[in-house]
Structure 1
Amino acid sequence: MRESWRWYGGLDRIALTEIVQTGARGIVTALHEIPYGAVWPTDAIRARQAQIAADPALGLEWNVVESLPVHEAIKRGEGDLAPLFANYRQSMANLAACGVRVICYNFMPLLDWTRTDLDAPVRGGGTALRFSQLHMAAFEVHMLRRPGAEADYSDAVLSAAAHWHKTATEADRDRLLASIMAGLPGAFDRYDIEGLRAALGGYRGLDRAALRANYARFLAEVIPAAADLGVRMCVHPDDPPRDLLGLPRIVSDADDIAWVLGQQHTVENGLTLCSGSLGANPANDVPAIARRFAPRIHFAHLRNVAKEDDGSFQEAAHLEGDTDMAALIEVLLDEETRRQEAGRADWEIPFRPDHGHELLSDLGRGTHPGYPLIGRMRGLAELRGVIAGLSYSKARNRDA
């Protein structure tokens, strides 16, 4: 498995020299400065590659794009989309021409990921990302005042949310809004309450069936080009894996993934296996999902969450939480072996330690939420140990 690290380029407070010290050599990045829907020029791609490889002694390589974003008009199925599809295909072609052939993307409407707390306390003084069902209900019902939001929450959660909103200070509410807005993609534009209401209005009437139809059209437009280019497209599951803000989510469980991969029956139409996103759904058996779709997994995000009965969850340490990480990694190692035996040159699955806790010197550094240095390095070291142990055991069994 190829150890990789998400890096935000010039927007990142973590330097490439620090990433090397974690042991990772693959860089997962994107041209975050380019507006959605615009072509990624070859010159800009090569400039980012040159930045990553400027010091050959570091041994770093851009191996995964995360993400090549899908324009919101495509998700809404709105207007003349031919130019947007053409631009997306051209960006794919330019990346392939530069040797970058694994592209992670998502089809979540409006928000990429959503958390209500960016600095929930953990044992010993660190912090973690958290999704509180209570706080989300307070936001939707009392701050956003979304019609029909009450139907998405239990009576107990609604009662607690009403109490929180009544006793919260203006600073508490501002903090909640800022935490939720941290999941907005792109150039980090953020909405106030009125702006979010207006943005949600653009999705009015978009149900699950309509979003699926728009996604199927996207796949039909881009996957044949990916096959021609030798590019592996890999969709990221919904985070969290549930409808949100009245918007449907359609990549949340095994049935959803089967539908996505069934739209284009080719290896280029693949999956980013995110153990944290899928793991937040109590119905999901993440190792079983990985085994079912293993041949179509092109990239993995390895992290863990601890779920609560009311639907809340918190980012756990990588080997803690509810997902059996050793069982999941064993599935990925078995798939790598299968690919090697089939003679595939691209048998190695790139992975990155996802969403670490803020620990030690991470605190106060101001890195992207969920992407500190020390916390992710701890996660990578733990995952590396699991991989080494399982690999050793498998080698001994083969030799026995």
Structure 2
Amino acid sequence: MRHTWRWFGPVDRVSVQDAAQAGAHGIVSALHHIPTGDVWPVEEIGKRQREVRDGGLEWEVVESVPVSESIKTQTGPWREHIVNWQETLRRLAAAGIRTVCYNFMPVLDWTRTDLRWTARHGAKAMRFDRIDFVAFDLSLLQRPGAAEDYDGATREAADRRFREMTEERRVALSRNIGAGLPGSADGYSLPQLRAHLETYAGIGRDKLQRHLVDFLAEVTPVAERVGINICAHPDDPPWPLLGLPRILSTAEDYAFMLREVDSPVNGVTFCTGSLGARAANDLPAMVRQFAPRIHFIHLRNVRREEERTPCSFYEDEHLEGDTDMVAVIAELLAEEKRRLAAGRADHQIPMRPDHGQEILDDLSRGAQPGYPAIGRLKGLAELRGIERALSHATYGLS
């Protein structure tokens, strides 16, 4: 695999040089300061490439070119936004970038109730607490009809939890859930979040799936012509939130997307952390099923605290948690071997150690939540060790 590292630009407390020292081969980045829906300027793409090169690496993967809410709802300037997305693909391809990640999650991107929860040994980790989230929905957001989405025992537990919360915790919970896309300055206040939810009135699961297919039908031909792989990130967490549908949470969801727009460039960002939060997802089997269309890999682990869906979970160490990381990596290496034999130019799949617990000096660095220096270095070293062992000519699977 091609070992990459997410970098949020010059504002990132973890530098490109840090990534190089950690063992990364290349950088994953995006132009978070460009408003969603706008074309990425050629000058800004070149500037980001120079910033990465100054640190000793190359910008290899874009994560993400955001898909606007207008596109997802097919309202407002959604057709203009698709044209702009197409043009951004052309400009990225002209700059030599060949992989673009995106997601189709409505309103909220990845969602956590805690951004720095204290895990074992005093490490800090991101966490999703199911009861805290329901308490937010019912008592802070006060979403109309929310009570109908939860059973009586869950509503009672959420009511108790809310009454026990300090005002400081309530404010932090709203801030954490309303946080915008990682690396961006976006975020939602409670009134803004309520307003955005209203734009999805009448948009259920089937309709949102159709909007994704419509979007892909427009952008995939451009990706084919310019030689870029586009890859959809799964829902995080992989179940409906706040009455909104989620459409990339299971193997069936991805099979539908890939079947409806059947092009080699239309593929998957395989995130073991997002998909692993849903107990029914068999991750090694999903790698086997979608192997030829996996264009980007996020390797991280979560520990489910309940065997139910939805569930509470937290971001565990990369080789701990509920995902069999050795089995997943073995399947990915087998796919890379098949691609190499077939002569595919993309036989080496870009991978990044996704998220990580804050440990040691991370605890005082103040980096983007989930993206510490040492926690990711540790994860990358562990994942690289598995890859090296499985690939060993004498002792491995090759």
Matches within 5 A, 1:174-323: 174-184=171-181, 187-309=184-306, 311-323=311-323
Aligned match of 2:102: 105
Change (3 A) 1:393 1:243: farther
Change (3 A) 1:2 1:371: same
1:142 is aligned, of 139, 144, 168, to 139
- CA deviation vs aligned residue, 1:334-390 (integer Å, no higher than 9, x gap): 010001001122210110001100111111322111111111111111101100110
Change (3 A) 1:115 1:393: farther
Structure 1 residue runs without a partner (length 5+)? none
Structure 1 runs (4+) deviating above 6 angstroms are none
Matched, 1:335 2:297: no
1:153, CA displacement in angstroms? 2.9
Aligned match of 1:66: 63
1:98, CA displacement in angstroms? 0.5
SS of the equivalent of 1:273 reads: strand
**Aligned residue pairs, count:** 395
1:133 is aligned, of 130, 133, 139, to 130
SS of the equivalent of 2:108 reads: coil
Aligned-partner Cα distance in 2 for 1:226–1:296 = 14
Aligned-partner Cα distance in 2 for 1:150–1:99 = 50
8 Å contact 1:111–1:185 — kept in the other structure?
A: no
Q: 1:367 corresponds to which letter in structure 2?
A: A
Aligned match of 1:170: 167
Aligned-partner Cα distance in 2 for 1:148–1:394 = 60
Change (3 A) 1:397 1:82: closer
Aligned-partner Cα distance in 2 for 1:124–1:219 = 45
SS of the equivalent of 2:84 reads: helix
SS of the equivalent of 2:101 reads: strand
Structure 2 residue runs without a partner (length 5+)? none
Aligned match of 2:113: 116
Aligned-partner Cα distance in 1 for 2:62–2:397 = 36
Aligned-partner Cα distance in 2 for 1:109–1:186 = 18
Could you say what the CA RMSD is over the residues aligned between the two structures, in angstroms? 1.5
Aligned-partner Cα distance in 2 for 1:30–1:355 = 16
Aligned-partner Cα distance in 2 for 1:394–1:371 = 35
8 Å contact 1:114–1:183 — kept in the other structure?
A: no
SS of the equivalent of 2:28 reads: strand
- CA deviation vs aligned residue, 1:302-353 (integer Å, no higher than 9, x gap): 0011112251111111001111000000111001000100112221011000
Aligned-partner Cα distance in 2 for 1:180–1:62 = 30
SS of the equivalent of 1:50 reads: helix
Aligned-partner Cα distance in 1 for 2:390–2:52 = 31
Matched, 1:388 2:385: no
1:142, CA displacement in angstroms? 1.0
Aligned match of 1:31: 31
8 Å contact 2:115–2:126 — kept in the other structure?
A: yes
Change (3 A) 1:396 1:80: closer
Change (3 A) 1:389 1:85: same
- CA deviation vs aligned residue, 1:31-82 (integer Å, no higher than 9, x gap): 1110011111222111111111125xx3x11110000111110001113433
8 Å contact 1:36–1:186 — kept in the other structure?
A: no
Aligned-partner Cα distance in 2 for 1:314–1:369 = 13
Normalising by structure 2, what TM-score?
A: 0.96
**Which deviates more from structure 2 when the two are superposed, residues 309-318 or residues 379-388?**
309-318
Aligned-partner Cα distance in 2 for 1:303–1:386 = 14
1:145, CA displacement in angstroms? 1.1
Q: 2:136 corresponds to which letter in structure 1?
A: F
Matched, 1:13 2:10: no
**Which deviates more from structure 2 when the two are superposed, residues 176-185 or residues 88-97?**
176-185
**Which deviates more from structure 2 when the two are superposed, residues 156-165 or residues 317-326?**
156-165
8 Å contact 1:115–1:183 — kept in the other structure?
A: no
8 Å contact 1:110–1:184 — kept in the other structure?
A: no
Aligned match of 2:74: 77
Q: 1:182 corresponds to which letter in structure 2?
A: A
Change (3 A) 1:394 1:285: farther
Q: 2:256 corresponds to which letter in structure 1?
A: W
8 Å contact 2:71–2:79 — kept in the other structure?
A: no
2:148 is aligned, of 134, 147, 151, to 151
1:140, CA displacement in angstroms? 0.4
Aligned-partner Cα distance in 1 for 2:118–2:169 = 16
SS of the equivalent of 1:182 reads: coil
Work out the percentage of aligned pairs sharing the same amino acid: 52
Change (3 A) 1:393 1:327: farther
